[in-house]
Structure 1
Amino acid sequence: MTLNRLNLLWIMNLFLFVNSQADENCDHQLNAFATASSNFTACAIANSKPITLCEDCVETYIQVVESYQNMSLSYGGKKCIDNYVDLDRLQIVRTIYENCFDLWNRAKCNDCFKFENSNLTPKISNKTLQFDQYYVDLVKCINGTQTNSSKEICQKCLQNYMYLNSFYVSISNENDKIGVCMDIVDIMNTTRRYWSTKCCKYRRHEEYVFIGSAVGILTLTGVFYLMTLYLGEKEKPLILQQNRLAESLNHLNRDSDDISDEEE
């Protein structure tokens, strides 16, 4: 009887020890998730303007995903996630994770990185690297212009801008609100605003010259036509003189009189 009691106490202590270890592991995983989600939130806020959320916060986002997945692993026959999900109405852990997940996916950040075995990695995708190279080339061209003249920048760097813009259009679905990774979208929007402010005025000036020239040519053509129409000598139509008809009638009358005299 004493031996049975000792065995029972040993089993109970082992069970309590295992549970305590499981609870300790769960507390560790919960703290890891809390730290990761807090770091990601702080990183997202710090990189909200200009938007570099994807590139600068990918490491912390991966930690959020991994720490949440770790909570779903079994420790001592129980899953830590069961202690924090579906047991209360607030669903704090799940809500925080879904908020991080939703922010990351609304920004289409996955487009900026490579996946390995269906898992997100911090390795930059090829199209992101190509876009970054076009952007760096444009910035180098702008900064390398010695006079810093807007006109010179626009003329010298036009080709670099066209390369960047064309590549962006090729990788982006512009029918969507966010056609590609948000970091790229923000860079392109900023570049387009810069180029529009800096360079489009010269293009508009050239367009105005072309339009003015076209209007001037059309106006001169119209004036020339009107002058030709109203000031040119008009050709007078030929009208038969009525005296010719009278002469013909007189001639007939004379012939008739001559015939009458001969008969008499």
Structure 2
Amino acid sequence: MDVTRCLLQCLVLAGVCMGTEWLLEDTPMAADADLMARALWAEQLSLSLLPAYSLAPDPTPDPSQCTPLLHEFANISATLSNCLVSMARPVRLCQHCYKEYAQLKATMSKIGNPIQNSTVSCSTILLRSDRVQVIVTLNDFFDDLWSDSKCQNCLQNNSSGISNNTSKFMDAFDSLIQCFNNTMREPPISTEQGNFSRVCQNCNDSYRHLNNLYNEFEHTNALCIDLEDIMNSTRKLWSKTFNCTLPCTDTVPVIAVSAFILFLPVVFYLSSFLHSEQKKRKLILPKRFKSSASVANIQDKSN
């Protein structure tokens, strides 16, 4: 809108100046002084109507004030990268790297906020001064990784600590691992039930509790990559390493529903067969009706 207004003003003023120039050519020399004064007035008016931002350069911050923020971002991004890689296996990055991530976001806020005793920020120098935009690219990378890991689900609302659900899940996991370690120190036993070891007996309740917590958090969207990785590794350990099985309590309903579904085609074909037989019976004519019909045909032939 401002650009359009500026262009219109320039066109009007150009017309005024051109009209003044035409008058200078067509008037006698006595009126030259008055016309020159009008031309000078038109020039001063055109300059006064131009926007202020076109007459002065954009304010830029002092680079020496932005250098400390650049070093701060470099140090905290290196610390965060080291934490993320260190906690990649087993995955514990949400629980151990949230402080470094919060510091990174605080540094980005400092870069975007105005400098002290000034109205400009360091974002023009640090964030938008080149085509590559290294700081912006690194910040977007950390944001995408944090979002894909769903770390916010395992933290408090202000990301100042671990949530209560995460602490409860980790306590249940520690109890299960302690049960595994204590039971493995005991001598193995063999039972008539096949692959039902002492670990499966002693740690069954702890495993059920951990599995129930995971299912509960899954329905309430309270899971992050840390808890998902813990549950996946625990289930592999329970089923493959210890060869334990968790009995399914819904076996009877599943069998009943499956049997009902398998029995539906039998019911369908049986009902179709009975329905077709009933129609055939309705199409059979009685003998009395046949005899009367034959008599009528004989009479027609005789006539």
TM-score normalised by the chain length of structure 1: 0.62
Q: Is the 8 A contact 1:37 1:64 kept in 2?
A: yes
| 1:189 pairs with 2:229 | no
1:65-102 per-residue CA deviation (whole Å, 9 max, x = no partner) reads: 11111111111221011212233221211111010111
Q: 1:239 aligns to what?
A: none
Q: Is the 8 A contact 1:171 1:180 kept in 2?
A: yes
Q: Is the 8 A contact 2:92 2:226 kept in 1?
A: yes
Deviates more, 1:101-110 or 1:40-49: 40-49
Shift in Å, 1:191: 0.6
Correspondences of 1:205-220 after superposition (within 5 Å): none
* Distance in structure 2 (CA, Å) of the matches to 1:203 and 1:68: 50
1:24-49 per-residue CA deviation (whole Å, 9 max, x = no partner) reads: 33111111111111111121112111
User: Where does structure 1 differ by over 6 angstroms across 4 or more consecutive aligned residues?
Assistant: none
1:5-60 per-residue CA deviation (whole Å, 9 max, x = no partner) reads: xxxxxxxxxxxxxx88x433311111111111111112111211111111121121
- The gaps in structure 1 that reach 5 residues or longer are 1-18, 207-264
| 1:50 pairs with 2:93 | no
Match 1:133 to one of 171, 186, 189: 171
Instruction: Report the residue type matching 2:225 in the other structure.
Output: M
Match 1:27 to one of 62, 67, 70: 67
| 1:103 pairs with 2:145 | yes
Comparing both structures, which one devotes a greater share of its residues to strand?
1
Correspondences of 1:5-20 after superposition (within 5 Å): none
Q: Is the 8 A contact 2:63 2:125 kept in 1?
A: no
Structure 1 pair 83–131 and aligned structure 2 pair: CA distance change class (3 A): same
| Identity across matched positions, percent | 28
Q: 1:152 aligns to what?
A: 198
Shift in Å, 1:183: 0.9
Instruction: Report the residue type matching 1:40 in the other structure.
Output: L
Correspondences of 1:183-262 after superposition (within 5 Å): 183-200=226-243, 203=245
- The gaps in structure 2 that reach 5 residues or longer are 1-59, 189-195, 248-303
Shift in Å, 1:115: 2.1
Q: Is the 8 A contact 1:173 1:180 kept in 2?
A: no
Structure 1 pair 143–62 and aligned structure 2 pair: CA distance change class (3 A): same
* Distance in structure 2 (CA, Å) of the matches to 1:173 and 1:41: 31
How large is the Cα RMSD of the aligned pairs? 2.5
Residue 144 of structure 1 aligns to a residue whose secondary structure is: helix
Correspondences of 1:170-181 after superposition (within 5 Å): 170-172=216-218, 180-181=223-224
Q: 1:85 aligns to what?
A: 127
Shift in Å, 1:144: 2.0
Residue 112 of structure 2 aligns to a residue whose secondary structure is: coil
Match 2:154 to one of 100, 107, 112: 112
1:200-254 per-residue CA deviation (whole Å, 9 max, x = no partner) reads: 3x549x9xxxxxxxxxxxxxxxxxxxxxxxxxxxxxxxxxxxxxxxxxxxxxxxx
Q: Is the 8 A contact 2:239 2:245 kept in 1?
A: no
Q: 2:289 aligns to what?
A: none
Instruction: Report the residue type matching 1:155 in the other structure.
Output: Q
Q: Is the 8 A contact 1:43 1:56 kept in 2?
A: yes
Bigger RCO (CA 8 Å, 6+ sep)? 1
